[in-house]
Amino acid sequence: MNLLDMLNRNTRLLSSKGVRSTALAATMPMRNYKFAFSANMKHTSAKLFRLPCNLVASKADGNLSWNVNQTKEGSSIEGWQVEEVSPVKDFHLTALRLKHPQTGARFLHLARADRNQTFSVGFRTPPPDSSGLPHILEHTVLCGSQLFPVRDPFFKMLGGRTLATFMNAMTGPDYTMYPFATRDPADFGNLMSIYLDAVFRPRLRETDFRQEGWRLEHADPFDSSSPIVFKGVVFNEMKGAFSDPQSLFGQRLLCSLLPKGAYGKVSGGEPLTIPSLSWEDLRSFHAQYYHPGNARFFTYGELNLPRVLEYITENYVEASAKELPAVPEILQEPRWSKPREEHVNCSRDPMAPNPENQSTVAVAAACCDIHDLNETFLLDVLSDLLIRGPEAPFYSRLIEPGLGSGYAPATGYDSSTRDTIFAVGLQGLKSSDVEKAVKSVKEAVNAALSNGEGLEPERVEAVLHRVELAARDESHCMGSSLGLSLLSEITPLWNHDGDIVSFLRVGDRVEFLKRSLKNDPNLLRKATEKYLGEKNSHQLILTMSPKEGFEEMQLKEEQELLQSKIDKLSSQDKEHIVQFGMKLAKEQKQDEDLTCLPRLCASDLSPIPEPDGAVNVKDTMIPIQYSVQPTNGVAYIRATVDVAGLPEDLNSSLPLFCLIASKMGTSHRNARDFDRAVSLSTGGISFGVNVVAAPAPACSPLSLRAFLVMSTMCLERNAAKALKLCSELWQAGAKGSWMDSNRLAVLLREEAVALANGVPHSGHAYAVSAAAARVSPAARKREHSVLGPSYLEIVRKAASQASQSETGAQEILNKIREVGAFLLDHSCGDRLRFSINSSPESEPSIINEVSTFLKTISVGPSSSRVNPFEMGPTLSPELQVAPNTHYVLPLPVNFAAKAIATGVAFKHPDHAPLKILAKLLSARYLHPHIREEGGAYGSGADISTDGVFSFFSYRDPHSIKTLDVFNGSGKWAINSSPKPITETYLEEAKIGIFQRVDAPVPPGNRGLDRFLRGVDDELLKWHREALMTVTCDDLVRVASEYLSVTSKLPVSCALLGPQNDVLEKDSNWKIIVPED
């Protein structure tokens, strides 16, 4: 994950969060891997070293010299049989399916005019037990291979040798995959070579296994008197994952509903089962599953397929053994004769909106087989109809009465396992209300069965509209790459050798469903009965509740396991532990010769940024920025209103306004009717807060501004309807039409739960936000209204107040109405701006519709046309001079952060060197100390546009030690010997930065930086040149000026994690324990 991405996401741009039921297969690309554990993540260009794999077509023959259209089914390419050539018009691509006859290796190529090429190799890896074998193997193959015998080549590549827009590896419940994406053809060849060698010829040394999996080691490896403890990257990662009640519940639900085969085991690893895994098991698992016969190769984009095939075949496929081990099919779960019930204990969650209500229940049912594409699509649609929005029977019976705080984890339909799963339930329940919740689930099913509630044709139409829109919209793609999104959608099905090309034809499935519904109007009711009714006896009621002393008990179990292992140690074993620990620690510290790794160079980068295409439209009533793009018939419309002048006492209500504004209905329509209208013609309407520290002034005082942002997207043919709905909503906000306090309470509760659940996944973002808030006005405003502990607290308090009494709810609603009246009234013309992205044909008509919009909200022409980002300071929140902050949370791991207010904003000459220094520190200093030695899952450093230099750690077993590492960074950069800042490292850091700077921007988002942050092509070009010309001396200079311990700059640290004895005694730390 990219910290900057997270922190810069100031606006909620139509993000669909909440239940995964909204994820219609193959269409909603942002679906999370529910049980996927990702190892080496980071988005992450090179050409000094030419790889054996030269995929770079010379400029003369062009990258597209190979023509997909001339490929025929039944022909052969480089020894591979072409089994299928098939256009998929839904995504403007041609799918090629190939098979290698001798080994059985499978290959899918999606040819599409897209420079963002994608590659993946994946394997079916059913876990034999819960020791985390597939997951630990995924980590360990990334620790060096025959061609690339260096520790951790992935991270080394990420450290500035590649322009990859995405690099990762994932372990799913029954598969493991290794995908990457890049827009540079040379880089593609480099990375493909590394990936292939990693999976087919990894070193799999014992030290790698011990580092990544588990080991017994002295707390301090160089002090044999320190206690022996468990260590290991995956061991810690899974402890973190299982401490999160959400992922615990999701995992248990899968294991309990499909217990017999692969899904009954934890592919990621059950923390206390991990120490049963041996190095030998790991190697034999690799031999059994990681071979061409079980491999699924995937490529996407404009690339020369024959060259890719030639390389793979010569080097890995032909070379493999003739007798490849058979890989068993993952079987269907034998169906139960009667439903089952199970219970799970968890720890208490003080972040929950109501500490008393912490039970969770879900009713889950095994559904059809993953291979039945029309049926899985039908179930996707059905799930959406039953769960999503105020008209859905589950929503009205489970969410609206306020029985629980929100849907249970795993709610929705999931078609990523052999037997697909439907689940629905509630979390945040009183334990006494669990039965009531189960009863409500049954009532909802009966309502759908008996009178077709929620299954009305107009609602079906709305869902199918959403499917069409999502298939055309590239802005929510995983890693901004359509290739990756499509890969992630097809992977589970491909893993069972399903018909992946038909699966990609979303339009066909939509048509099939429409025809089926015509032939049988009762189709959806019948499906409800078949899968969710009593006829389906393979159903599970899973409950989960906190148990007093749960964490202590877990700790005790770990201690007992540890002790039993220690008791069995001979003196020889003990000596081995000492020696091995020191060996590993030394190895981790050792500098390696990386010349075997390929790389891109900064000199290969283009000095000119890709233009955002945005222009200011002339002669319009208010400023409109327009960017004409290949949006595939989708229009992206955003409007901002400057919030300057909003009365102080309404500040906390602004984020609440954003949360509820589009979900309360209007003067003409109640919430249900409005929701229906919105989903029939748009992809949703949402509001958010955008906080900007203007890049223009060199340094403080920074001009700080905040904007309310309204966003919508729609098929271009629906733009008039969409803007009409926006107008209706705008007027409702301006007039204060919202009265329904029950609805308010429901919405706030949902958000509070979603936020609290997100903390264990994005704790580092919370920690950075909290630390930065104490040293920067802009960060403080963000922490308060976008992401941070204060924001969480605002929502949590409001949710609790609104749920407790009608008066309490009305009080909140009154303030929200005041915000609307202030920001949206007819005098807002001077503060209002529009940004629109669409295909060229629609430009004139959409501009016309915006004029109509302005008339309906009675806004006159704007008198001011000054650059909104260059006005003087308008908001000046007092900086709170306070100590560091520790947020005590029931987590077994920490998230640490440190923020330094350098005052070096985006346009300051030192900004570029500090940005590169942050990158260099991340790769060369923080990563070895915090991840490799410390066992944390991740770490990094960055500088924000307003000049806050920050450090963070992610899922970190240490706290103080990590803060010491942060504090030592200046000294390391300035005084270490030999000098750590070398030309090579500088080069790597530059490439690393450009990887982010040049990350692909989907058509719908181009020009957004200009619109929301005032960063136009000109400024970007200047910044780019500044980055390219940074020298080693610059880095040393800025390190001593801004990061040395003697600098007098404002500094603050924040820590999220368990109670901490050392910090409690330190007066520089403020301890915050969430109240019960």
Stretch that binds Zn ion, among 30-38, 281-289, 583-591, 777-785 (CB under 5 A): 30-38
Closer residue to Zn ion, CB minimum distance, 152 or 380: 152
The answer to whether residue 39 forms part of the interface with Zn ion (CB under 5 A) is yes
What is the size of the binding site for Zn ion (CB under 5 A)? 3
Q: Dihedral through CA 58, CA 59, CA 61, CA 65, nearest 10?
A: 100
Smallest gap, in angstroms, from Cβ of residue 125 to Zn ion?
A: 14
Which residue type does 1037 have?
R
Closer residue to Zn ion, CB minimum distance, 234 or 303: 234
Smallest gap, in angstroms, from Cβ of residue 267 to Zn ion?
A: 11
Smallest gap, in angstroms, from Cβ of residue 590 to Zn ion?
A: 24
Residue 803: both structure tokens together:
């749920």
Stretch that binds Zn ion, among 39-47, 185-193, 257-265, 467-475 (CB under 5 A): 39-47
Stretch that binds Zn ion, among 18-26, 34-42, 535-543, 989-997 (CB under 5 A): 34-42
Contact 396, 389 (CB under 8 A): no
Stretch that binds Zn ion, among 35-43, 400-408, 456-464, 525-533 (CB under 5 A): 35-43
Alpha-carbon span 1045 to 1061, nearest angstrom: 25
- Lookup result for tokens 């947020």: 887
> Is 592 marked active-site?
no
Residues in the chain: 1076
The answer to whether residue 791 forms part of the interface with Zn ion (CB under 5 A) is no
Burial class (CB in 10 A: 0-12, 13-18, 19+), 427: buried
- Single out the catalytic residue among 73, 78, 138, 468: 138
Contact 312, 98 (CB under 8 A): no
Smallest gap, in angstroms, from Cβ of residue 761 to Zn ion?
A: 13
The answer to whether residue 954 forms part of the interface with Zn ion (CB under 5 A) is no
Strand runs labelled E in 646-797: 685-693, 704-715
Both ends of the chain: CA-CA distance in Å? 32
Smallest gap, in angstroms, from Cβ of residue 152 to Zn ion?
A: 13
Which CA distances in Å does 905 have to 409, 733, 779, 1019?
41, 35, 13, 13
197 membership: H or E segment, kind and range: helix 185-200
Closer residue to Zn ion, CB minimum distance, 237 or 349: 237
Stretch that binds Zn ion, among 29-37, 109-117, 914-922, 952-960 (CB under 5 A): 29-37
The DSSP call for residue 521 is: T
The answer to whether residue 169 forms part of the interface with Zn ion (CB under 5 A) is no
Alpha-carbon span 557 to 317, nearest angstrom: 45
Contact 940, 768 (CB under 8 A): no
Closer residue to Zn ion, CB minimum distance, 28 or 238: 238
Alpha-carbon span 252 to 270, nearest angstrom: 11
Closer residue to Zn ion, CB minimum distance, 139 or 1023: 139
Which of these, 713, 734, 720, lies nearest to 826 by C-alpha position? 734
Residues with Cβ within 8 Å of 925's Cβ and at least 6 positions away in sequence, in order, are 965, 969, 972, 973, 980
Binding to Zn ion (CB under 5 A): which residues in 220-249? 237
The answer to whether residue 37 forms part of the interface with Zn ion (CB under 5 A) is yes
Strand runs labelled E in 1031-1068: 1051-1057
Closer residue to Zn ion, CB minimum distance, 37 or 188: 37
Contact 985, 925 (CB under 8 A): no
Closer residue to Zn ion, CB minimum distance, 830 or 933: 933
* Burial profile 203-219: b = 16 or more Cβ within 10 angstroms, e = fewer: bbbebbbbbbbbbbbbe
Smallest gap, in angstroms, from Cβ of residue 1070 to Zn ion?
A: 33
Residue 30: both structure tokens together:
């942002």
Smallest gap, in angstroms, from Cβ of residue 247 to Zn ion?
A: 13
Closer residue to Zn ion, CB minimum distance, 761 or 1021: 761
Residue 638 forms beta bridges with which residues? 711, 835
The answer to whether residue 891 forms part of the interface with Zn ion (CB under 5 A) is no
Stretch that binds Zn ion, among 38-46, 80-88, 872-880, 1045-1053 (CB under 5 A): 38-46
The answer to whether residue 723 forms part of the interface with Zn ion (CB under 5 A) is no
Alpha-carbon span 799 to 792, nearest angstrom: 10
Stretch that binds Zn ion, among 33-41, 387-395, 431-439, 910-918 (CB under 5 A): 33-41
- Closest residue to Zn ion using C-beta atoms: 39
Smallest gap, in angstroms, from Cβ of residue 140 to Zn ion?
A: 11
SS3 366: strand
The DSSP call for residue 716 is: G
Closer residue to Zn ion, CB minimum distance, 213 or 406: 213
Can you give the three-state secondary structure of 815-827, one letter per residue?
HHHHHHHHHHCHH
Smallest gap, in angstroms, from Cβ of residue 258 to Zn ion?
A: 22
Binding to Zn ion (CB under 5 A): which residues in 562-621? none
Closer residue to Zn ion, CB minimum distance, 237 or 391: 237
Handedness of CA 180, 185, 191, 195 (dihedral sign): positive
Smallest gap, in angstroms, from Cβ of residue 234 to Zn ion?
A: 6
Smallest gap, in angstroms, from Cβ of residue 151 to Zn ion?
A: 17
Closer residue to Zn ion, CB minimum distance, 171 or 682: 171
Closer residue to Zn ion, CB minimum distance, 132 or 697: 132
**What DSSP assignment string belongs to 503-520?**
HH-HHHHHHHHHHHHHH-
**How many other C-beta atoms are found inside a 10 Å radius of the C-beta of residue 474?**
25
Alpha-carbon span 273 to 824, nearest angstrom: 57
Strand runs labelled E in 720-839: 832-838
Stretch that binds Zn ion, among 31-39, 178-186, 434-442, 1015-1023 (CB under 5 A): 31-39
Closer residue to Zn ion, CB minimum distance, 37 or 80: 37
**Can you give the C-alpha Rg of the chain in angstroms?**
28
Smallest gap, in angstroms, from Cβ of residue 328 to Zn ion?
A: 24
Burial class (CB in 10 A: 0-12, 13-18, 19+), 722: buried
Residues with Cβ within 8 Å of 225's Cβ and at least 6 positions away in sequence, in order, are none
Residues with Cβ within 8 Å of 304's Cβ and at least 6 positions away in sequence, in order, are 55, 57, 63, 64, 65, 66
Residues with Cβ within 8 Å of 975's Cβ and at least 6 positions away in sequence, in order, are none
Contact 739, 813 (CB under 8 A): yes
Alpha-carbon span 357 to 351, nearest angstrom: 12
Smallest gap, in angstroms, from Cβ of residue 760 to Zn ion?
A: 15
Residue 459: both structure tokens together:
């609602």
User: Contact residues for Zn ion (CB under 5 A)?
Assistant: 37, 39, 237
Residues marked active site are found at 138
